[in-house]
Amino acid sequence: MSIFDKLKTTAVQAAVSAVQSAGSKRESFTFAALPESLAQLQALPEASLDTPYKTAALTVLALCAYAADKAIGTEMLNWLRGPRPLNGQEISFLNDRFRDGKTYLPFTYFAGSTPDNNYTPAQPYTITVESNHVSAQEAGYMKLFIPCGGADDPRPIKLRQRGSDGKWFLWEQYLLTGVRTPKAADPWA
C-alpha cells in the first residue's frame, strides 16, 4: 500500500468515525419563557453556540419572535446566522410563510403542541433536536432534525461551524413548511 493509499484510508476512516459519532443523538432544551429581544436570546446558556443542537433550538425561538415582531425576529436570526445575515429573498420567504395567520408554525416544534390544542405548547417550553446517520456527512456542517407536532417526520435544519472559534451558526432551515391545520382553523374539525 502506497503512502497516498494509507492517507486516503485514514481520511475515509476519520470521516466514517465522525458520521458514526453523530449517530442517533437527541438533546432537549427547556426554556421558562420565550425571549422577546436579542439581548434576552443572548442571555440564554444555549447562546454559547458551542454545539449545533443549541443553535438549532435557538433558531426555533427566533422564529417564534419573528412571528410576533419581524424586526426583533430578524435581529435574532441575523445573530444566529453569524457573518451571513438574511437577504431580501430570505426575508420575503419568511414573510410568505407567516402570511394568512400562520404565526403558529414555529410553535409546532415545542413539546405538547398538536393540531388539537391549536399548537399551544406545554410550559416550560421544551424543544428536542435530533441527529441521525446523515447528520455529519458534510465536513463543517451538521444537518439536524426537530420533531414537529403537526407533521409525521422531524424537520431538517442545517448548521455550519465557524473554523476560527468552533461556534455553530444557522445555515438553512426547513422548519416553516406546511403542517396539519390547527383545530380552530380547520373547517372540517
Give the model's pLDDT for residue 19.
45
Segment holding 128, helix H or strand E = strand 125-130
> How many angstroms separate the CA atoms of 172 and 90, rounded?
10
> How many angstroms separate the CA atoms of 24 and 5, rounded?
31
> How many angstroms separate the CA atoms of 131 and 156, rounded?
10
Which whole-number Å values give the CA distances from 50 to 89, 168, 174, in the listed order?
28, 6, 22
Segment holding 3, helix H or strand E = helix 3-22
Taking the complete model, does pTM exceed 0.85, yes or no?
A: yes
Cell output for 155: 424537520
Write out the chain's pLDDT in tens, 189 residues. 666 566 555 544 544 454 445 579 999 999 999 999 999 999 999 999 999 999 999 999 999 999 999 999 999 999 999 999 999 999 999 999 999 889 999 999 999 999 999 999 999 999 999 999 999 999 999 999 999 999 999 999 999 999 999 999 999 999 999 899 999 888 887
**Tell me: the pLDDT tens digits for 84-98?**
999 999 999 999 999
Report phi then psi at 169, rounded to 5: -125, 155
Give the model's pLDDT for residue 189.
76
Give the model's pLDDT for residue 9.
58
Segment holding 168, helix H or strand E = strand 168-173
> How many angstroms separate the CA atoms of 5 and 3, rounded?
5
> How many angstroms separate the CA atoms of 52 and 141, rounded?
9
In the numeric block, the cell 476512516 is attached to 13
Sign for the pseudo-dihedral over CA of 79, 80, 83, 86: negative
Give the model's pLDDT for residue 23.
73
Please give the share of the chain, as a percent, with pLDDT higher than 70. 88
Q: Where are the domains of the chain?
A: 21-181
**Tell me: the pLDDT tens digits for 18-51?**
444 557 999 999 999 999 999 999 999 999 999 9
Give the model's pLDDT for residue 43.
98
N-term to C-term CA, the chain: 67
